[in-house]
């Protein structure tokens, strides 16, 4: 629908004719206007609407639209203002961790810090390796994006990545390099880069202000204050993430292609770890059961097939189906799993608090109206036992197929 | 009971150790991660392993490492606030080390964790970060397990010689015994002293508590604020599969799990 205001002569005629039966409904319901004398005038009769029992109601929450705004097109979703950097005076390079292919909160804090350093003239360049699933680079504060998609950067490839970053250094000569000082690869990559560029980095930085950086030193008992160096490895919450602006996220290309040399470290892939031995607070994938689980042996079998750490709601623990140390929630463990599969858990507020940090939540439940379904990214309504059985069969079929492909 | 050394008798392992600080009292002690590195070295090479420290030889805490069952500890004499990188790289170039083990960062001083990376750069060796276990070594190629966050492990193949840093995922260090700690020998060697440039410009101060992140309320109207304060779990975002067969439901779950890459 276009935004052109069209006149409706008939409506105008009805509005002029006080004897017309539709006259009252055609009155423009302006409730507040500025008079010629500059005084604000209000029409209290035009406020509100007639409720279902014929009583006038006033809704002050803002949800109720006045009848006069019928003609305007539905308001588009509010767009944040776009921050444009045409000709960047300098670059600030950020290498996000991209855990699970998405920007983590640590990465977003880092982009916020990068914008503090870039001001209005500089451009923030995100250097991303391998495939990703992120589509919010613009709102996270990325002005330019440098995406390396070559197959050599898949998996664990720190030496090749450092070579690529050295190329970026030669071409862009960024004013600052920012990397997350995390165990998810950023800390390692940053230190490797520092060693190959012979730059002395500031590590575990938690504040950069007025050209001074403050970072933790030693075992965390001391702070190191120093002039902000070119390479900064920042810890989480080093700055506020971007929230008020949108950014261009323009793709960039390096001028010369990269042909990294052979690596001395070869990645032979992940090793199966017994999920029961991983502490639940840091498990990546949790299968959690509650009151809706009837067949607990099937539940354990499903956890084994999925390779998931087991969790439980308080009801399942109180009923004796699971040990106390497996309880998830306010009185149990606050988990940080990336994927949380809740089977037969309705989602008490204490339980939802415990899974607040989880990224993706899948709910399997009989009740489509429960709170867990509202929280979940994917909900399947149905009998938990049947769905778990089907899931086990599906994964077995997938694994069989995989083995057949490999042979 | 001592864990039996692997069949790596001829392996020349060097562990680099530093002086730690107790997290509460701040008293000098053997550093936690360095002790784990020594433990890993003892499991690999037994008593043949070398332990090297660059710093002050009179520091009593060094005997904590000797108490783990090492006969001898080399000390490269360095004053406080010296850059030990050059002394260590000179020493390691002359030695015939095949595997150098370090902790991932020092507990005193700057503690940037850069030393293993800079040594690897100077020696031209590969570096493995977060070594958890050495599985086997044959024909100059090591198969090792690397510790990842969330308790995961990754298998890597590395050419010898290499540097490895260990973190808290490595095996727990054995206790230090008093008798061996007294009997152990500290051999002191003089080494080149190179002052650290950092302390000309930077300064160490007692750690300030980090400012708590404030919860910024962006609501412009009272109604929005009320909504933000009382809102329960926000609904509506997720996909809900109703009235579908268990197979379809399982297929949808399976697809999401594959997309997230949690199925192995």
Q: Tens digit of pLDDT for each residue in B111-144? A: 899 999 999 999 999 999 999 999 999 888 999 9
DSSP A77-125: PPPPPEE--SS-SSEEEE----GGGS--HHHHHHHHHHHHHHTTT-EEE
Which percentage of chain B shows pLDDT scores above 90? 57
Residue that wins the pLDDT comparison between B103 and B213: B103
DSSP code, position A141: T
The token pair at A280 is 């639940």
Strand A176-180 and strand A231-234: pairing? Answer: parallel
**Which among B109, B208, B249 is the nearest to A218, CB-wise?**
B109
The HSE-up count of residue A41 (CA atoms within 13 Å, CB side) is: 11
> Has residue B188 got a pLDDT over 70?
yes
**What is the Cα–Cα distance from A226 to B112, expressed in whole angstroms?**
13
> In chain A, what residues touch B152 (CB-CB under 8 Å)?
270-271, 273, 284
pLDDT digit string (tens) for B155-169?
Answer: 999 998 999 999 888
Which percentage of chain A shows pLDDT scores above 70? 92
Residue that wins the pLDDT comparison between A275 and B88: B88
CATH architecture of A275-406: 3-Layer(aba) Sandwich (3.40)
Query: What does the pLDDT average to over A316-333?
Result: 92
> Has residue A356 got a pLDDT over 90?
no
B20 preceded by cis ω (within 30°)?
no
Query: What does the pLDDT average to over A182-195?
Result: 93
Which percentage of chain B shows pLDDT scores above 70? 94
**What is the Cα–Cα distance from B106 to B19, expressed in whole angstroms?**
8
End-to-end alpha carbon distance in chain B: 36
Which percentage of chain A shows pLDDT scores above 90? 51
User: Is CATH 3.40.50.620 the right assignment for the domain spanning B13-201?
Assistant: yes
Q: What's the pLDDT at A12? A: 83
For CATH 3.40.50.620, list the domain ranges present in chain A. 88-252
Q: Say what the pTM is.
A: 0.79
Residues 225-244 of A with CB under 8 A from B: 225-227, 237, 240, 243
Query: What does the pLDDT average to over A54-80?
Result: 61
DSSP code, position B197: T
**What is the Cα–Cα distance from A16 to A30, expressed in whole angstroms?**
16
Do A258 and A150 form a contact (C-beta atoms < 8 A)?
Answer: yes
Nearest to B77 by CA among B54, B109, B52: B54
Residues 82-121 of B with CB under 8 A from A: 106-114, 117-118, 120-121
Q: What's the pLDDT at A69? A: 40
> In chain B, what residues touch A187 (CB-CB under 8 Å)?
113
Q: In this complex, is the C-beta atom of A130 within 8 Å of any C-beta atom belonging to chain B?
A: no
Q: A125-129, B1-5, B236-240, B260-264 — which is least confidently predicted?
A: B1-5
User: Is CATH 3.40.50.880 the right assignment for the domain spanning A88-252?
Assistant: no
Q: What is the mean pLDDT of chain B?
A: 88
**How many CB atoms neighbour CB A333 within 10 A?**
19
**How many CB atoms neighbour CB A308 within 10 A?**
24
Query: What does the pLDDT average to over B86-107?
Result: 92
Report residue B145's pLDDT band, with 50, 70 and 90 as the boundaries. Answer: very high
Do B166 and B37 form a contact (C-beta atoms < 8 A)?
Answer: yes
Q: Mutate one of A108, A221, A337, A395 to test the B interface: name it (highest B CB count within 10 A).
A: A221
Is A364 in Cβ contact with B204 (below 8 Å)?
no
Report residue A29's pLDDT band, with 50, 70 and 90 as the boundaries. Answer: low
Q: A118-122, A185-189, A402-406 — which is least confidently predicted?
A: A402-406
**Which among A188, A349, A368 is the nearest to B240, CB-wise?**
A368
Nearest to A12 by CA among A33, A25, A26: A26
Residue that the structure tokens 């004053």 belong to: B79
The HSE-up count of residue B232 (CA atoms within 13 Å, CB side) is: 14
Do A116 and A124 form a contact (C-beta atoms < 8 A)?
Answer: no
The CA distance from B235 to the nearest CA of chain A, in Å, is: 4
Q: What is the mean pLDDT of chain A?
A: 87
C-alpha distances in angstroms, A8 versus A5, A28, A65, A324?
Answer: 10, 13, 21, 70
> Has residue A68 got a pLDDT over 50?
no
> Has residue A71 got a pLDDT over 50?
no
Is A364 in Cβ contact with B249 (below 8 Å)?
yes
**What is the Cα–Cα distance from A159 to A259, expressed in whole angstroms?**
12
């Amino acid at each position: 629908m276009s935004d052109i205001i069209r006149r409706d002569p008939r409506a105008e005629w009805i509005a002029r004719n006080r004897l017309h039966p539709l006259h009252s409904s055609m009155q423009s319901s302006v409730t507040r206007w500025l008079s010629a004398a500059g005084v604000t005038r209000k029409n209290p009769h035009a406020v509100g609407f007639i409720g279902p029992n014929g009583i006038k109601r006033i809704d002050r929450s803002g949800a109720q639209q006045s009848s006069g705004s019928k003609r305007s097109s539905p308001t588009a979703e509010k767009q944040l203002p776009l921050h444009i950097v045409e000709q960047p005076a300098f670059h600030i390079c950020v290498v996000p961790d991209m855990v699970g292919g998405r920007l983590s909160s640590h990465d977003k804090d880092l982009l916020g810090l990068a914008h503090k350093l870039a001001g209005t003239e500089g451009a923030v360049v995100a250097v991303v390796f391998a495939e990703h699933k992120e589509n919010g680079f613009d709102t996270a504060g990325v002005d330019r994006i440098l995406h390396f998609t070559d197959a050599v950067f898949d998996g664990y490839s720190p030496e090749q990545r450092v070579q690529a970053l050295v190329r970026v250094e030669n071409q862009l000569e960024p004013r600052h390099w920012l990397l997350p000082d995390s165990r998810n690869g950023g800390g390692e990559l940053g230190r490797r880069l520092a060693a190959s560029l012979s730059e002395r980095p500031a590590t575990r930085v938690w504040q950069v202000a007025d050209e001074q950086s403050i970072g933790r030193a030693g075992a965390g008992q001391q702070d190191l204050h120093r002039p902000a160096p070119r390479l900064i490895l920042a810890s989480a919450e080093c700055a506020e993430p971007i929230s008020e602006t949108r950014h261009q996220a323009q793709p960039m290309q390096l001028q010369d292609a990269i042909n990294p040399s052979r690596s001395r470290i070869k990645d032979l892939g992940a090793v199966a770890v017994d999920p029961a031995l991983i502490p639940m607070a840091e498990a990546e994938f949790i299968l959690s059961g509650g009151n809706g689980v009837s067949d607990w042996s099937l539940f354990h079998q499903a956890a084994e097939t999925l390779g998931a750490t087991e969790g439980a709601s308080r009801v399942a623990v109180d009923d004796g189906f699971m040990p106390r140390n497996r309880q998830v929630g306010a009185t149990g463990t606050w988990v940080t799993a990336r994927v949380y599969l809740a089977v037969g858990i309705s989602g008490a507020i204490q339980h939802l608090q415990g899974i607040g940090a989880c990224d993706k939540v899948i709910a399997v439940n009989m009740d489509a109206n429960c709170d867990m379904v509202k929280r979940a990214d994917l909900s399947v309504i149905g009998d938990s036992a049947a769905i778990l059985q089907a899931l086990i069969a599906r994964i077995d079929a997938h694994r069989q197929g995989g083995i057949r492909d490999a042979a | 009971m001592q864990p039996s050394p692997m069949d790596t008798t001829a392996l020349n392992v060097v562990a680099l150790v530093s002086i730690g600080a107790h997290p509460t009292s701040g008293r000098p002690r053997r550093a936690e991660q360095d002790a784990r590195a020594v433990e890993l070295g003892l499991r690999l090479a037994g008593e043949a392993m070398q332990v090297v420290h660059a710093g002050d030889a009179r520091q009593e805490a060094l005997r904590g490492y000797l108490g783990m069952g090492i006969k001898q500890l080399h000390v490269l004499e360095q004053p406080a606030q010296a850059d030990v990188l050059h002394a260590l790289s000179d020493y390691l170039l002359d030695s015939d080390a095949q595997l150098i083990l370090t902790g991932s960062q020092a507990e005193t001083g700057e503690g940037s964790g850069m030393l293993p990376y800079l040594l690897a750069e100077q020696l031209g060796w590969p570096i493995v970060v977060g070594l958890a276990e050495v599985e086997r070594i044959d024909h100059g190629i090591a198969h090792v397990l690397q510790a990842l966050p969330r308790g995961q492990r990754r298998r890597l193949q590395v050419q010898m010689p290499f540097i490895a840093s260990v973190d808290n995922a490595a095996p727990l260090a054995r206790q230090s015994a008093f008798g061996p700690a007294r009997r152990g020998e500290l051999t002191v060697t003089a080494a080149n002293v190179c002052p650290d440039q950092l302390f000309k410009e930077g300064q160490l101060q007692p750690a300030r508590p980090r400012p708590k992140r404030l919860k910024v309320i962006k609501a412009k109207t009272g109604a929005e604020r009320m909504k933000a304060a009382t809102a329960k779990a926000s609904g509506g975002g997720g996909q809900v599969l109703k009235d579908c067969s268990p197979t379809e439901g399982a297929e949808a779950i399976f697809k999401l799990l594959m997309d997230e890459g949690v199925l192995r």
